[in-house]
Amino acid sequence: MNSFKKVKKATRTILGRLSLIKAIFLLVAIAVSFSAVAMTVTSQTGFCNSCHIMNDYYASWQRSSHSEVSCLSCHLQPGFTGYIKGKINGLAQAVDCMVGRVGTKAEATVLDQSCLRSACHHKQELENDQLSFNSVKFTHSDHIDQIYDGINVTCGTCHNHTHGEEHFSVNKEVCYTCHFVRSDKNSSGLVQSECLDCHNLPKEIINRGMVTIDHQEFLSYNANCENSCHKRQIEHVSRASDTACLHCHTFGMDSQETSEQLHAYHTDGEKVECFACHGKVSHGPDETSSVATMINCENCHSNTHAVQQTIFTADQVPEHEQALNEKVLSPMFLTHVECTGCHVEREVSNQGVLNSIGTVARATPQSCGTCHELGTGDRYIPFWQKNIKELYQQLLEQAQAVERKLPGFDKESLKTAQDKFARARSILESVKADGSWGVHNLKYTESLLLDAKQILNEIESGIR
Co-location of 240 and 133 in the same domain: yes
Evaluate whether residue 347 is within a structural domain.
no
User: Among the three residues 115, 134, 167, which one is the final residue of a domain in this structure?
Assistant: 115
Co-location of 167 and 24 in the same domain: no
Q: Which of 174, 78, 165, 169 is nearest to 120 (CA)?
A: 78
- List, for residues 96-111, the tens digit of each pLDDT value: 777 766 666 677 778 8
- Please check whether residue 35 is in contact with residue 86, taking contact to mean a CB–CB distance below 8 angstroms: no
Co-location of 55 and 166 in the same domain: no
User: Among the three residues 258, 286, 314, which one is the final residue of a domain in this structure?
Assistant: 286
Co-location of 303 and 277 in the same domain: no
Co-location of 67 and 167 in the same domain: no
Evaluate whether residue 182 is within a structural domain.
yes
Residue 31 is predicted with a pLDDT of: 67
> Domain range holding 247?
123-207+236-286
Residue 464 is predicted with a pLDDT of: 46
**373: number of Cβ within 10 Å:** 11
Residue 238, CB-side half-sphere exposure with 13 Å CA sphere: 20
Within 8 A by CB and 6+ apart from 275, the residues are: 173, 174, 177, 281
Co-location of 170 and 282 in the same domain: yes
| Cα–Cα distance measured from residue 316 to residue 431, given in angstroms and rounded to the nearest whole number | 13
User: Among the three residues 115, 149, 177, which one is the final residue of a domain in this structure?
Assistant: 115
Q: Give the number of domains in the chain.
A: 3
Co-location of 7 and 35 in the same domain: yes
Residue 103 is predicted with a pLDDT of: 64
| Cα–Cα distance measured from residue 15 to residue 12, given in angstroms and rounded to the nearest whole number | 5
Evaluate whether residue 225 is within a structural domain.
no
Judge if pTM exceeds 0.85.
Answer: no
Co-location of 58 and 192 in the same domain: no
Co-location of 185 and 261 in the same domain: yes
Evaluate whether residue 215 is within a structural domain.
no
Evaluate whether residue 84 is within a structural domain.
yes
Co-location of 247 and 392 in the same domain: no
Burial 112-127 (b: 16+ CB within 10 A, else e): bebbbeeeeeebeebe
Evaluate whether residue 32 is within a structural domain.
yes
Residue 392 is predicted with a pLDDT of: 94
Burial-class residue 285 by CB neighbours within 10 Å (0-12, 13-18, 19+): exposed
Co-location of 391 and 446 in the same domain: yes
Residues in the chain where the model's pLDDT stays below 50: 287-294, 320, 322-325, 464
Co-location of 57 and 189 in the same domain: no
For residue 311, give the CATH number of its domain.
1.20.140
Q: Which of 120, 37, 118, 39 is nearest to 74 (CA)?
A: 120
Residue 276, CB-side half-sphere exposure with 13 Å CA sphere: 14
Evaluate whether residue 280 is within a structural domain.
yes
Q: Which of 324, 306, 303 is nearest to 315 (CA)?
A: 306
Residue 292 is predicted with a pLDDT of: 42
